[in-house]
Structure 1
Amino acid sequence: MTTYNGQATLITESGAEISVVASLRNQQTAIDGWSGTLTMPSAARTPELLNLLKGRLLLSTGREAGFDRPNTSDWMGSPAGSFRINIVGNDGDVPF
Structure 2
Amino acid sequence: MSSYRGPAILITVDGREYEVTAHLRKAPNGLRTSWGGTLSVPISQRPAELSTLTVGRVRLGTNEGAFVRPDISDWLGSPPNVFQITIEGNGDEPF
TM-score (norm 2): 0.92
Structure 1, unaligned stretches of length 5 or more?
none
Q: Which amino acid aligns with 2:79?
A: P
- Structure 1 residue 56 corresponds to structure 2 residue 39: no
Listed one character per residue, the Cα deviations across residues 43-92 of structure 1 (whole Å, up to 9, x for unaligned) are 333331111000010013x11010000000000011111100000001x1
- Number of the residue aligned with 1:46: 47
What SS does the aligned partner of 2:15 have? coil
- Number of the residue aligned with 1:81: 81
What SS does the aligned partner of 2:13 have? coil
- Number of the residue aligned with 1:11: 11
- Number of the residue aligned with 1:94: 93
Runs of 4+ residues over 4 Å off in structure 1 = none
State the Cα RMSD in Å. Answer: 1.1
Structure 2, unaligned stretches of length 5 or more?
none
TM-score (norm 1): 0.91
What SS does the aligned partner of 1:93 have? coil
Deviates more, 1:40-49 or 1:65-74: 40-49
